[in-house]
Each structure stands twice: as structure tokens, then as C-alpha cells.
Structure 1
Amino acid sequence: MIELKKAQNLLLKNLRRMEKEILRLPEAIGRVSFEDIRSNEDLPSFNRSLMDGYAVRDEDVKTTPCVLKVRGIIPAGKIFKGRIKKGECVKIMTGAVVPSWAERVIKKEDVEVIDKESVKILRIGWDRNISYKGEILRKNEIILRKGEVVNEFKAALLALFGVKKVKVYKKPKVCLITTGDEIVFWERKVETGKVRDVVSLLIPELFNKIELPCKHLGRVKDRKNEIFRIFKKTNPFDIILFSGGVSMGDYDLIPEFLKEIGAEIVFHKVKTKPGKPLLFAKFKNKFIFGLPGNIVSSIVSFYNFLRPAVLYMMGLEDVFVKFYEGFIEEDIYIKSDRLYFVPSIAKFKNGKFYLKELKFMSSQDVYSVSRANSFIVFDDGIYKVKEGSKVRFFLL
């Protein structure tokens, strides 16, 4: 049995990044950049007026109030090519190109219009009201780094520089196979001894939360020939998930099956409760996970291993769940020989998290998890956690 942290390190060590694909900018939102992207020009690319007002030279407004003649108007998107004489100015709109001779823009609120050809400058402020060429970004600066997510704000920045297409990491293709003689389709009426296949609904929905499809290939009995048959359908996929068949029973055939096809089992059994039977293997260019058949075990395994695996393959670095600290609302008695994950309700009050344990009967107790928004993590051992104690947890 392997410690969680060691298993997670082995996971990342053995995974590979996905190849690149090129997407149009709108389709690349939410994906991870495959390369650094640099600015192809200064930002702004010209001296830009920040106000509606009047472009002037400093020498003409040394003393205010003063009267200046208006030589013309500069709308946004147009360029004023003329020159002005002493005592003259040009009306200018927000966003317009500031002429090279202009040293400041007097905002219209500080100007009194005398007639169509002359204005009185009442005052000048401390701000020149000009955004200078390159003051935000210089040409060839990195605007999106390799491994960064192209979110809506990054996409807006890229669009500002005219970037049409982005190289991103491909998404891995994931499939799920559920195993077990006792498993039946979740919509069916069950006989005594049978169990509805909830995992085939749950796991794909958990992947949907990170916008990654997970195709359920079907259910098979605990028979090697059936496992071989359905495994032939996994060729298009990068990650193959087996639900069930990884514990120590006579009908838990997945480890034996993997050895027979020549897969390398990287680790099997993790020191967590629930989630102990988890298996991770490599086969050719594919990665195989054997998930415990119990529902809560599958959830814990998803957050500890499956989610980090696909995020890493998609180009991200910080892939494991983020732990927070909070305070327990009532005494809890711990008795576990493994790292213990307990479903809980986390509430944020007065700048702090407070957590309430949701007692669950077994790793099949999906009722408790259905009310949870978090998992508290306790070290192994036999001990009491007193009310008000600080605990670690992650949010679902």
C-alpha cells in the first residue's frame, strides 16, 4: 500500500502531455496554451487621447485662463496631419490619435466654448490625459505563457493584438468500463443482490465539470473474455477507466487482466479511506485507472487522481485539489489506519470556514456525499478532534 503523496508523484512522473492542436481564438477559451505568445506591437500602438477635449502645446497654456483658436477636429480613428501656430489648438475625441506636437489634452469640462473657432482654457489639471505609445506593453513582451489557461480576459488581450488562432494542448479522450456480475443499468428495477450502476452516471458528470467528455463503453460481467472483448473498443482513447474489479476478491480480475495484456502496473492500493483499491497502470501510450466499485471511493479517487491526471495532460501544472483550513463545529472521533476523507458541509462566516462532519456508514453511502460540499482530511490513527479544532479540507 502506497502513501497518497507518493502515489500522486508517481502519477505525474508517468503521465505525458497531450499533443498540440490549433484552434480559432473563440474556441480556444478555456484551453491551455501550448506556447508563449508575444505582443506584435506596442500597446497602445499610438499616443491616444483619454478624454474628449482639446490637444494643446504646453507653451500655449502656461497661464490660464487663456483663449486659443480651434484649427480642426480629430475624431477617433482619424489622423490630424496639419501643424498649428502659436495660440492654436485642435479639438480631439476620446481614443483619437494625439498629434506629435501636442503635449497634453485639456478635457472639455475645463474649457469654455466662445464660438466655432475659439475656446477659453479655464484651467489645466495635473494629468496630461494621454496614453502614450507602449506605456502598457512594449512589442515582443509575453502576453500569454505556455501552460496558462486562455480565459475570457486573456482572449480579449489576444484579440487586441489581432491573434486569430492559438496553439493549445489537446484534450485527452477518456472512456469508462463498469464491471461486476451484480451491476445492472441504473434505470432498471433491481433484484435482491443486484446493484444499480451509479458510477456510469457519476464519473462522466464529474468530468463534465471540467468540460471533458467521458464515454461509457458499457458494463461487463466478471469474466476475462468479456473484459477482453470490451477492451478492444478502447483504441481511440488516451485514458481507460475500469470501475470495480480491483480489490482482493476471487472475481476482481482487472489486475490479472492487465498483467496478461502486458500493461505496467505503476501502483495498486493507496493508503486512503475510502479509495484504497485504486490502481494505475500504463499500456503502450494509454493510461489505465482501476477505480473501486464503491461510489464514495470513486469520488475520492476522482479528486485525488483522475482530475489531476487529465488536467496535467491538458498542460496545467497546479493540478491537485486546493486545501483550505477551517474549524470543526463539533467533536469528531477518528479511527482509521489510513488517511481519512470525510464528507462535510463547509460554511464561510466572518472570514473563516466552519465545517460540519456528515457521518457516513460506508464507502457506498452516497446519501451523505449528496449533501456535502467538501471533504475533510484526517491523518490516520485513533484520536478525538475537539470542537473548534483547525482541520484541512477541499471543496467539491
Structure 2
Amino acid sequence: MSDLLGLEDAQARLLALAPQLPGEGVAAEAALGRRLAADLHAARTQPPADLSAMDGYALGPGEGPWHVAGESRAGAPHAAALGAGEAVRVSTGAVVPEGADRVLLQEDAVREGDTVTAAGLPPPGRHIRPRGFDFRTGDLLLPRGTRITPARLALALAGGHGAVTVTRRLRVTVMDSGDELSADPAACLPHQIPASNAAMIAAMLAPLGCEVTRIGPVPDDRDALAAALVQAEGADLLVTSGGASVGDHDLIKPALAAWGAGTAFWKVAIKPGKPLLVATRGTQVILGLPGNPVSSFVTAILFALPLVRAATGDPDPLPRAVTMTAGEDLPPTERRREFLRAVVEGGRVRLAGSQDSSALAALAAADALIDRPAGSGAVSAGEAVPVFLLQNG
């Protein structure tokens, strides 16, 4: 086991290899889900003037009564300043005229003709949104690396930006390999299984804003692998599934070496997922995931997704554990750190079913991974355990 890297060490080594992507300008609405490649500063002040927060009357100096000199509507301000004893009818979002120092709520106003009095006079400044209270020209709206969400899109637009600079989309090629894989899940021979890993991994990566291309399934043949790797020439990241272990037909390592890739590290002290392979070819990163579907899924969560997040500018790319209560007894662990597929029910977490690395039914049911340190004792139901929550439902 001395040749196996610990999880955090392996993650740190991988993230240090993350491709450095350039920025590109896109329409703000096209940036949804992507990350800023540069700080975004306000190009305007919001609100641009003092605005009314309520429907009512903007009041000039004095304690009333006030003469109603006009109206200020949203988008149609009252042009003249207010003097003592003057007021204007004002709607929510409308500009508060110069000279007004408060807004009298409509329900607190008594109006007769062009004269209004107050049932209760609000204090100065009440119900006015002052100019620039949200942000001012030059303020930092969103720092570099921020992911554009719907609310942040609204902020960018409100800040005067019809276009923003985001990190170029990461080009990812996903390839699965193995003689046992069938491209058609409805037409498998007795010695075959449907190829599902590449589709699964591509589906995990797509929400991160990647441009994902799939190759395969590729047979366990050096020439076939060499031809497939040529198709990945333009990828920033190549993710393979299968063929990275130590069997006679595990040919990914020699195929990558022949392609010009050098191994950065191989094997991590986790279960499932021990035969993880990381290599580089120029600026390209190659991430070789195990072929068993659960191992492929878990290593994608712990390595592939963080690498993509880091490459696209996420300042905090690693998954974070939360503490939950074990809903059942858990056995002790051995020499590798284990990630158990689990289900969260009523604030407790229990095993999802079989923990075999090929058990897709249990994986599909899981919405969490229980993190069990290497060499740890048994856990009793009711004890606290660290858990990685999955968006798997």
C-alpha cells in the first residue's frame, strides 16, 4: 500500500495540472452556468436616483397639509423640485423629486382635491431607496471565478453589462474501452454488457458547462486505442473508463505512452477507485477512471468534477462533506478509505444496498457517499459520519 496516494494528496496533484483556459466575451444571457474570467465591476449606479419604495406621496418640507403638484410614475418622473408644503403622487419604483425627504404611504394619506394630509407623518428618509444603495459605478459586483446563476445574471445586467468575459468552455473527450462492451444496450451477446460509463460520465460533466465528446466503446486492442486517441487530439481533458488496471488486457497505460502521454501518478488508496490513472500530454490532462461503473462514478465525483471546476475558474472545486447521523451499524474499514453508497432518510443516512463496485442498482438509488477513513472501527447507528451529498435524483 505504500505506493498508493492518499485522497487529498492525489486531488492536490491533479488540481495542480488543471488546464489554464483563456477568457472569451459572450452575451450576458449566454453566460448562464459559466464562470467569470475577470472581475465584473458596475458600469452604472443602482438605483440611479432616489426611488420610492411604496405607493403614496413624496412630501416636501413641512408637516402638512401639502399641495399635490403632480405625479411621478416609474419611467415618468416629476421634473420640478418640491418646495415647502408641496407633494407629488408617487408610485413604487418612481423617482422621488428633488426636495422630497420622505414618502407618505397611500393608506396613511387623506386627500381632498389637490390637498393631502397625513394620518401619521413618517420620519425623514422613510420609504425612499436612496441613489446607489445597491451599488455604485466601479463597485465590484462579481469576482473572477463566480458562476453565473439567474440572480447573478440579473445583477450583471443591472450593472450595465450586456456582455461578460467568461472562461472558455473546457473541451472534454470521454472514452470507454473493453472487449465486453456493447454500444447497443438492446443487442448484447451473452458475453457482453451495455457500455454505460461514458454516457454516465458525460452526463455528470455536462452541467458544468463543458463541451463533451464521446468515443467508443473501444475494444482492448492497441491499434483501436491508438486510433481513438487521435480523435482526442483537440481535447483539454480526456477521461477514459476501463483498461487502467494491471490485467493483461488493460492497455490504456501503454496506449497513452505510445501517444506521447506521461504518467503523473497511478493508484489511490480509496475503495472503490484504486486504479485511478492521471497522465499529461503537453497541456492536455488524461484522467483514467476504473471500468467498474461504481468505481467510475465515485472517482468522477472525487476527481473529474473537481478538475473541471478548477479549470473553469472555481476557487473551491473540491466536494465538501457534511456531518450526518448513521441510520445503521457500519462495519470497520481496512487499508483503504471507503466511500459507501447511501440513502438519506429523515436526517439519517443508511446503506443503499450492495457495495459491490459493479452494483448499478444501488448506485442509482444512492444520494450520498459515506466517507469512512482507512483503518477505522465499526460505527454504531446514531453516531455521526461525514457524508458527501450527491445530486443523483
The answer to whether the superposition gives a TM-score over 0.5 is yes
- Deviation (angstroms), 1:359: 4.2
2:117 to 110, 115, 120: 120
**CA contact under 8 A between 1:272 and 1:340: conserved in structure 2?**
yes
**CA contact under 8 A between 2:268 and 2:274: conserved in structure 1?**
yes
Distance 2:353 2:89 in 1: 72
2:356 corresponding residue in structure 1 = 362
The Cα offsets for residues 137-167 of structure 1, whole Å up to 9 and x where unpaired, read as 2221101111111111111112223310010
Structure whose CA Rg is larger: 1
2:166 to 162, 165, 168: 168
- Deviation (angstroms), 1:78: 2.8
- Aligned partner of 1:339: which letter? R
- Deviation (angstroms), 1:206: 2.0
- Aligned partner of 1:261: which letter? W
2:324 corresponding residue in structure 1 = 326
Classify the secondary structure of the residue corresponding to 1:302. Answer: helix
Distance 1:376 1:84 in 2: 66
Classify the secondary structure of the residue corresponding to 1:181. Answer: coil
Against the structure 1 CA distance between its residues 97 and 280, is the aligned structure 2 distance closer, same or farther, given a 3 Å change threshold? Answer: same
2:385 corresponding residue in structure 1 = 391
Distance 2:303 2:80 in 1: 66
Give yes or no for the alignment of 1:381 onto 2:375: yes
Q: Quick check: 306-315 or 210-219, which moved more?
A: 210-219
1:129 to 127, 131, 156: 127
TM-score by length of 2: 0.92
- Aligned partner of 2:350: which letter? K
1:228 corresponding residue in structure 2 = 226
- Deviation (angstroms), 1:71: 2.3
**CA contact under 8 A between 2:330 and 2:379: conserved in structure 1?**
yes
Give yes or no for the alignment of 1:7 onto 2:10: yes
Runs of 4+, deviation exceeding 6 Å: none
**CA contact under 8 A between 1:17 and 1:312: conserved in structure 2?**
no
Distance 2:57 2:174 in 1: 67
Among the aligned pairs, what percent are the same residue? 28
Distance 2:231 2:73 in 1: 63
Distance 1:71 1:389 in 2: 70
Against the structure 1 CA distance between its residues 74 and 181, is the aligned structure 2 distance closer, same or farther, given a 3 Å change threshold? Answer: closer
Against the structure 1 CA distance between its residues 87 and 363, is the aligned structure 2 distance closer, same or farther, given a 3 Å change threshold? Answer: closer
Distance 1:119 1:282 in 2: 76
Q: Quick check: 171-180 or 273-282, which moved more?
A: 171-180
**CA contact under 8 A between 2:110 and 2:119: conserved in structure 1?**
yes
- Deviation (angstroms), 1:124: 0.4
Task: Map 1:98-109 to 2 at 5 A.
Answer: 98-109=96-107
Give yes or no for the alignment of 1:155 onto 2:158: no
- Deviation (angstroms), 1:102: 1.8
Paired residues, number: 386
Against the structure 1 CA distance between its residues 231 and 132, is the aligned structure 2 distance closer, same or farther, given a 3 Å change threshold? Answer: same
Structure 1 spans left out of the alignment, 5+ residues: none
Classify the secondary structure of the residue corresponding to 1:258. Answer: helix
Distance 1:285 1:83 in 2: 63
- Deviation (angstroms), 1:83: 5.0
Structure 2 spans left out of the alignment, 5+ residues: none
